[in-house]
Structure 1
Amino acid sequence: MIILPAIDLFGGQAVRLYQGDYNQMTVYDADPLHTVAQFEAAGATHLHLVDLEGAKTGQTTNLPTIERIAAQTGLFVEVGGGIRSMDTVRRYLEAGASRVILGTAAVTDPDFTAQAVAQYGDKIAVGADLKDGKVAIKGWLETSQNTWETFFDQMQALGVRTMICTDISRDGAMEGTNRALYRTLAQRYSMDIIASGGVSSLEDIRALKAAGVAGAIIGKAYYTGAIDLAQAIALGKGAQL
């Protein structure tokens, strides 16, 4: 199982939100490259980046920062946040992103999603942010009418290979991840499932690996010291800790 430490970008800085609330923002690093270097030192191979401003506006506000990170790291870099056009997909991939994540657009524009998957294959992932069983959109500011079952079925039918699923109620709350949800998703779908939201202990990592998920995103738990990233990566690879 792959461990993906996360950086949320706002104004070119590494920040974290509490349950997607832009009014509850903590700045962790004015220069995200410092944080990336710490991830690499811990043995990380992958990096999860989210442009929080892009998630709200659909603009590539933090593209220069993302391009700088991609140019100065050997990590597999996936990027999400406001990617709603083929031009934006192309810009991120040309900037050095290894994979881009479609969120709101995957819900509101399935034709665009199908086109992106057809053109770029496994360089396209889809993010499903769940709130009360429904898929949230536009930086979690709105909730669609899609249940997660309907949405995941649709994405698998389109040929999506990687789904990044966040339980919003657990995000940043340090209450543990929704293990039952991810176990269900991993068993039901052939897509790679990446767990996000509330991964806050090594026990969560063990449980997610046992459930068969392909990856886990670690955010706040890293920044607060609740999870030792090097240990989490070792567990993901199968080490007994």
Structure 2
Amino acid sequence: MKVIPAIDLLDGQVVRLHKGNYEEVTIYNDNPLDEARKFKAAGFEHIHIVDLNGAKEGKFINLEHIKIITQELGISVQTGGGIRSYDDASMLLEKGVSNIICSSMAVKNKESWLSVLDSYGGRAILGMDLKDGKVAYSGWLETLDQTLVEFLQPMIDRGLQTVLSTDISKDGTLEGPNLELYKNLKSQFPNLNFIASGGVSDSSDLEALEQQELYGVVVGRAYYENKLTLDDMLKYHTP
């Protein structure tokens, strides 16, 4: 299982939101490069960065910070937030980002998203946020009236390989991941690589996810709140 440390950027600062609420922000570091350097020094070669300004405004406010991290540290980055079009996705990948994560685009601009899958294959990750079992988008404010099969199958047909799935009710809560959700997703879509996101609180959560043989897990708040050390995370990490 890949354990992927997370950096959420808002106005150039490392933050976490509680359940995606921009009014409930905790600032952990005002220097993203310093934070990424800690992950690199510990042995992580791949990190997860979300541009929260981009997610809200559709503009890549924090792209310069991401570029500095990739160039200075030589680590790979998967990033999301604000990717609305094929050109957005292409630009980020050409700027040195290893993987892009698209959520709202897959709902609102589906043909462009399918074209991204055609062009970039495994470098394009679907960000699938779930609210009461339904796909949520637009900052988690709206949900899609489709089954998961109806939503995912056209993407699978076009080469989708990896899905980063968040249970919104768990995000930023430290209440533990929704293990039943990931079990069901793996059972329903055995050929997809699922990355868990949201709710991880301690080593036991990582152990439980590893036992489910998940492809990966993103760890954010548990690390920043000192519930998990980098050494704890490395124990469950397979590069």
Q: TM-score, normalised by structure 2?
A: 0.94
Q: Percent identity?
A: 42
- The amino acid of 2:177's aligned partner reads T
- The amino acid of 1:155's aligned partner reads M
- In 2: Cα distance, 1:150 partner to 1:236 partner: 33
1:172-216 Cα offsets, whole Å, 9 max, x none, are 111000111111212322111000000111111111111121000
1:33-75 Cα offsets, whole Å, 9 max, x none, are 1110111122212100111111112111111111111111222
Structure 1 equivalent of residue 234 of structure 2: 233
- The amino acid of 1:230's aligned partner reads D
CA drift at 1:152 = 3.0
Aligned to 1:82, what secondary structure does the other structure show?
Answer: coil
Q: Which moved more, 1:104-113 or 1:172-181?
A: 104-113
Q: Is the 8 A contact 2:8 2:16 kept in 1?
A: yes
CA drift at 1:149 = 4.2
The count of corresponding residues between Structure 1 and Structure 2 is: 238
Structure 2 equivalent of residue 221 of structure 1: 222
Q: TM-score, normalised by structure 1?
A: 0.94
Unmatched tracts of structure 2, length 5 or more:
none
- The amino acid of 1:11's aligned partner reads D
1:130-149 equivalences under 5 Å are 130-149=130-149
CA drift at 1:154 = 3.6
1:112-151 Cα offsets, whole Å, 9 max, x none, are 1110011111111110011111111122232232344432
Unmatched tracts of structure 1, length 5 or more:
none
Structure 1 equivalent of residue 172 of structure 2: 172
- In 2: Cα distance, 1:141 partner to 1:22 partner: 12
Q: Relative to structure 1, is the Cα distance of residues 149 and 225 closer, same or farther in structure 2, using a 3 angstrom cutoff?
A: farther
CA drift at 1:100 = 0.4
Q: Relative to structure 1, is the Cα distance of residues 207 and 149 closer, same or farther in structure 2, using a 3 angstrom cutoff?
A: farther
Q: Is the 8 A contact 2:12 2:65 kept in 1?
A: yes
Moved over 4 A (4+): none
